[in-house]
Amino acid sequence: MREALRLARRGEGFVEPNPMVGAVIVQDGRVVAGGFHERFGGLHAEAQALRDCRDKGIDPAGLTIYVTLEPCSHHGKQPPCAQAVIDAGIKRVVVAIPDPFEPVAGKGVPMLRDAGVEVDLGVCREEAQRLAEPYIKRGRTGLPWVIAKWAQTLDGKTATRTGDSKWISNELSRRRVHELRARVDAIIVGVGTIRADDPTLTAREVDVKRIARRVVVDPKLSLPDGCKLIQTIDQAPLTIAINERLFDDEPDRLKKLAGLGIELLGLPTVSKNQLDLRPLFEHLAQTHAASNVLTEGGAHLTGALLKQGFADQVLAFVAPRVVGDKSALDSVVGLSHESIADATRLTLCAVEKLGEDVLLDYRVTPDQA
């Protein structure tokens, strides 16, 4: 199953909004064939594995197939995999997790068993659920998986009191960020980040799997006209999320921006200075089929994500530097907790050393999401 999971990850960035799925066929305790879902609309993992098996001159009848997700039982862009497995004469199917997608949920496994196929469910369940997190969340809530990313010093600062932040993290960490940008559907920042750093928010010097939509949360429409995001509108789409009242207050400027090809999205407020982010994530999922969204700050936006309950994953790049200045910029602001017991809780899932930097990979605990 771990080999099937490894294969599945090869589809990352190409198959969304479908899930990453891998499959391997085993004969006499040895993997003889494998496949994965390579691209959206393409052959599913089971069909790829069966084809690989036959291409190698091996009859799959009587063999075992390991699959990271319950085989589908419905006709979508591809025929049902459960039926393909049955028709191939597979004797045993080992499944990591059931498919939560409504047309499939709980139907593929009974279909196999009714046809006399032995089915085992739950092997490497935790690893498979981690692989399918964005797919599961989108199916359950209609919202994309949201990754809150930031780089900080060891004492939790993202910039000095003068605003200088280049470079907190090292080259390996920055490359990892570009790899993230290259496989997500959207990248969100607050307008303060644009004014401070003037980034392009595109993936550079890595293999680009998807062109991410750049999104700026800009309640007062203070985005500079000459910023790089606008100058590079031909390289990647751009959305500006503003206070919905500005459609009445700033019609001329909004018309000018729309004429440049910029999408403008009005959001209601949850407080005087904070926009309600739910309509933004609903829009990204429904209009732009977003499954994975990366947020790159600043601190107020990250705080809003945690406070409003939309952050699912936190990626914190920690550099071996100490600023030690109470006036330096924090990584997260805008939360208010009376006690440590009430503070937002995270679950550590992975730690990776990137040179002298450390990447901490957390999930926001379920009662906080």
Number of Cβ within a 10 Å radius of residue 187: 24
Distance of alpha carbon 58 from alpha carbon 321, whole angstroms: 57
Active site residue 46: yes
Handedness of CA 274, 247, 212, 11 (dihedral sign): positive
In the numeric block, the tokens 């279909």 are attached to 111
Residue in 3, 16, 46, 352 annotated catalytic: 46
Determine the distance from the C-alpha atom of residue 201 to the mean position of all C-alpha atoms in its chain, rounded to a whole number: 16
Three-state SS annotation for 275-320: ECCHHHHHHHHHHHCCCEEEECCCHHHHHHHHHHCCCCEEEEEEEC
Distance of alpha carbon 297 from alpha carbon 299, whole angstroms: 5
Look at the chain and count its residues.
369
Given a contact cutoff of 8 angstroms between Cβ atoms, the answer to whether 4 and 65 are in contact is no
Query: What distances in angstroms separate CA 247 from CA 188, 266, 294, one per listed residue?
Result: 21, 8, 27
Instruction: Select from 106, 68, 110, 71 the least CA-distant residue to 88.
Output: 71
**Catalytic positions, written as ranges:** 46
